[in-house]
Amino acid sequence: MIELDVLFEDNHCLAVNKPAGLLSQGDRSREPSLVDVASHYLKTHHAKPGNVYLGLLHRLDRPASGVMLLAKTSKAAARLSEQFRAGTISKLYWAIVVGSPEEEAGTWADVLTKDRQLNRAHARAIGNHQGKEASVDFRVLARGERHAKLELHPVTGRSHQLRVQLASRGLPILGDIKYGAKVPLKALDGRSRIALHARQITFTHPTRHEPISVLAPVPADWPESLPGWQGPGCGSSRPAAGPRT
């Protein structure tokens, strides 16, 4: 069983650092998922007999890594789920993309449609197509010769949203073959990963009603951690310019 990287835990909440390549929730393949790993952790670490309660509140694409928030009680699950529905939970991502945006910061807004047979999303211009509106605030953290490192704050939470919004602007995430990248990237377990990392999540604690912010370190298979990487953040790259005035 995969060892769980616990970032925050109390009687109601469990925040973990999901590795790339691991499913968030089990599917027909019956491969291990984060829910399986976290449930095993709760049973063994806390010596709980029988089944344990674990509420999956949101998902993270299999080839992505980063922080995920789980509920350990039904009360916490209900209250945190309401925060997700209301859009009051803040999530921050890091992405390394092929290419570089012209702007240093801004907001991208699109309408997303979903091809369920191919499990693939498409971004269209707002006002011209039917679908679900998707919006993300972005900021360039560093630029390299062929790549850029971005900070992404999604305003909405759509399936594959960040991946398709970046790809539609000619900025596919490094390793994301599904959405236009040309070269694959490997996770620690040998599976394909993409250079998308859920860096931080901020929520209101379901019982203490105080803000909690959880930060997820990047894993060893994050491109900037690999020997020989010559992308943004290394000596060959230049930092992004400051905000325009």
Active site residues: 61
State the CB neighbour count (10 A cutoff) for residue 172. Answer: 24
Tokens of 88: 């009051």
- In the chain, the amino acid numbered 243 is P
Collapsed DSSP state (helix, strand, coil) of residue 14 = strand
166: enclosing H helix or E strand? helix 161-167
Phi, psi dihedrals of residue 65, rounded to the nearest 5°: -120, 170
In whole angstroms, give the CA distance from residue 52 to residue 44: 11
